[in-house]
Structure 1
Amino acid sequence: MNSNSAVSSDTIQTAQSLRNLYFLRTAFSAIWIILLSSSLKSSPQLANILFIIYPLWDVLATFLDIKANPRQATKTPQYVNIVIGVLTTIGVALALQISIPAALIVFGIWAIVAGLIQLILGLSRRRQLGGQWAMILSGGQSMLAGTAFILLAHSPTMGINSLIGYSAFGAFYFLITAIRLTVTVRMAKLVA
């Protein structure tokens, strides 16, 4: 096997794994949005649990992202994201004991940092995988959304509704990238 075939094989495997993960992330976000929307007024306790689950899910998804990448790829941004996600999960749980605005501020800070990491990953992956524009846009939008969460924190209804929009846009971007990675896989298989 020549080095071009090896690179192509790594690209195919990485693209397939990330594609599957991004479809899974899209499905999770859709379910999360439905559950949060339906529980906001009827079950505030469930809404709080969903609020805590979101960054925790991101930790698990980031772990799956690490597994999807070739051994030689740097994983420092993902490890940083895992640490930040765990701290955010704890922070949101503690902040909810104080108030919804406090939890929104913690969530906003996390969205800014996680968005920056996603932006960095999208930029670094675009050479190998292509089609990362949606992840790059999503990272930038996450940073803006995080700022909005902080600014809207003292209007909890608007802040919570912003979370739903944040998750919906994230799902959309993951879906677009998953579809684009499907094209990458097909093209790489033709070349291989």
Structure 2
Amino acid sequence: MLDASSTRSGVAIVDRSPHSLPAQDEPWLKRYYFTRTAFSVIWAALAFSIGRQAPAVAAVLLVIYPAWDALANGIDMSRSGGAGANRTQAINLVMSVAATLAVVVALQSRGGGGLGVLGVFGAWAIVAGLLQLGTALRRWKSAGGQWPMILSGAQSALAGAAFFAQAHAPVTQAITRIGGYACVGALYFLISAVTIVVTEKRRQRVHAS
């Protein structure tokens, strides 16, 4: 859409097309989503190949997962204007740190059984999913690739509820459940990253024409 604004020298025509104004968040978000895709794929591969056979390795992986989410949200928040401009991510960071500590406690109880672990992951997945959905809705107008993040947030909340129904699984089985959750999350991050890449290519073609 074209927006005309009067100036002393005449009329200035400013292009307000959504593809004409590059979103400043997109270059960072593209790298961020690709990085999160890679981490989730590697984590899931370790969970399925080693974690399900070695309880000690599974325990370490289960602690790393929410800890990484806290770190990733913290970095993204700092790159996107800080806590004041990203309250959902600030809350998500705090919840992920709390989930990490809760996982450690759960692993030390019940002889390392999976009941507490999946319960913690279930609660965390619900809250983190809703916060991720809120972050994506806030970014909807300023950055591309957000519709997969909205779906991912909703799916995370549903998966969290399902974890409660599977809460009696031992750690080596619990980690395979969470591994599947990580794979789905990786897919959504990948779709978001690719969506931004496609949007950038389209924008470049518009500017070149």
1:108 maps to which of 103, 122, 128: 122
Aligned equivalent of 2:181: 166
Quickly say closer, same or farther: Cα 1:14–1:72, change in 2 above 3 A: farther
Q: Which amino acid aligns with 1:78?
A: Q
Q: Aligned residues, how many?
A: 187
Which protein has the bigger helix share? 1
Quickly say closer, same or farther: Cα 1:65–1:53, change in 2 above 3 A: same
Give me the whole-angstrom Cα distance separating, in 2, the residues matched to 1:142 and 1:131.
17
Larger Rg, first or second structure (1 or 2): 2
Q: TM-score, normalised by structure 2?
A: 0.81
Aligned equivalent of 2:5: none
Give me the whole-angstrom Cα distance separating, in 2, the residues matched to 1:86 and 1:94.
13
2:75 maps to which of 49, 64, 68: 64
Give me the whole-angstrom Cα distance separating, in 2, the residues matched to 1:181 and 1:131.
5
Q: TM-score, normalised by structure 1?
A: 0.87
- Identity of counterpart residues, as a percentage? 44
Give me the whole-angstrom Cα distance separating, in 1, the residues matched to 2:47 and 2:82.
37
Give me the whole-angstrom Cα distance separating, in 2, the residues matched to 1:72 and 1:160.
32
Aligned equivalent of 1:180: 195
2:91 maps to which of 62, 71, 80: 80
C-alpha distance after superposition, 1:40-82 (max 9, x if no partner): 3432111100000000000111012113324698211111011
Root-mean-square deviation over aligned CA pairs: 2.4
Aligned equivalent of 1:8: 21
Contact residue 125 and residue 156 of structure 2 kept, 8 A? yes
Contact residue 95 and residue 124 of structure 2 kept, 8 A? yes
Give me the whole-angstrom Cα distance separating, in 1, the residues matched to 2:108 and 2:96.
19
Contact residue 47 and residue 176 of structure 2 kept, 8 A? no
In the alignment, structure 1 segments of 5+ residues that lack a partner are none
Quick check: 18-27 or 72-81, which moved more? 72-81
Contact residue 152 and residue 158 of structure 1 kept, 8 A? no
Quickly say closer, same or farther: Cα 1:191–1:150, change in 2 above 3 A: farther
1:95 pairs with 2:102? no
Give me the whole-angstrom Cα distance separating, in 1, the residues matched to 2:125 and 2:105.
17
Which protein has the bigger strand share? 2
Q: Which amino acid aligns with 2:158?
A: L
Aligned equivalent of 1:141: 155
Q: Which amino acid aligns with 2:143?
A: L
